[in-house]
Amino acid sequence: MILSPSLLSADFSCLAEELAALEAAGVTWLHLDVMDGAFVPNITFGPPLIKALRPHSGLFFDVHLMVEEPARYLRDFKEAGADLLVIHAEADRHAQRTLTEIRKLGLKAGLALNPGTDLSAARWLAPDLDLLLLMSVNPGFSGQAFIPQTYEKIRAARALLAEAGAAGALVQVDGGACPENAAALLDAGADVLVSGSAFFGHKPYDARLAAFMKAAEGRAVRPGLRAARAWRHAASNANP
């Protein structure tokens, strides 16, 4: 399992310190929720903030774009220092093209599905994916309740990816994850758990990370997950 804490729940008055504390605790990924006030009913931040944080952190920047027509901004996010760009299927009529463009920029490419979006939206994009993000809350806010039918969707996603010849792609779950449901999420087939409110509200971070990682103890590591654990921030991303 990889835990990707969501910056949205961090203390915005001291983000550089927060990032340093995450790295010191052994966290490897950071989930950055970009919201445009159009695709979702909330506005957060964009490339300038990510660019400002980049020199302060070696974390792998997992950037979740809750943005209409995300293809307009791919280069901006690459230049800001993103490592993985995740677009929403519902926000892009030409997702296959956008995913291809993301990979051409040298970044990892992901597709996100809202809770109500059928997995069939990912079927013919599977070869273009490094990661499939299943929303387990309706996107827009942290601190919402986990939607339980997500467990079945995760199982179906794993089967779909295997059938499509994309078994190496990661399944990420975003929304309402916590140490209490982490084992069930991993049982269903999740590889990457995003956590906002259930992570940042609980210091020290090393103990909180351990509470999540306990769910992964004794489990076989899928080859795709093993490969992803070696993904690192490539400093060259920031200087195209």
Cβ-based neighbours of 191, under 8 Å, separated by 6 or more? 1, 2, 170, 171, 172, 222, 224, 225, 228
Minimal distance, residue 136 CB to ligand DX5, in Å: 8
- Spatial separation of the C-alpha atoms in residues 145 and 175, rounded to whole Å: 8
Alpha-carbon distance of 233 to 84, in angstroms, equals 9
Tell me the HSE value of 69 on the side-chain side, using a 13 A CA sphere.
Answer: 1
Our answer to whether residue 76 is catalytic in this structure is no
Q: Is 33 a catalytic residue?
A: yes
- Which residue in the list 83, 128, 130, 174 is annotated as catalytic? 174
Q: For the CB of residue 39, give the shortest distance to ligand DX5 in the complex, in Å.
A: 10
> Which residues would be at the binding site for ligand DX5 (CB under 6 A)?
6, 8-9, 31, 33, 64, 137, 139-144, 174-177, 194-198
Q: In this complex, which beta carbon is closest to Zn ion, that of residue 57 or of residue 236?
A: 57
Identify the residue whose tokens are 């039918």.
149
For ligand DX5, give the closer residue by CB, 42 or 100: 42
Contact, 98 vs 70, CB < 8 A?
yes
Name the minimum Å distance from CB 186 to ligand DX5. 16
Catalytic position from the list 33, 128, 130, 191: 33
**Cα 239 to Cα 226: distance, rounded to the nearest angstrom:** 28
Residues that bind Zn ion (CB under 5 A): 33, 64, 174
Which residue number, 33 or 191, has a Cβ lying nearer to ligand DX5?
33
- Residues with catalytic annotation? 33, 174
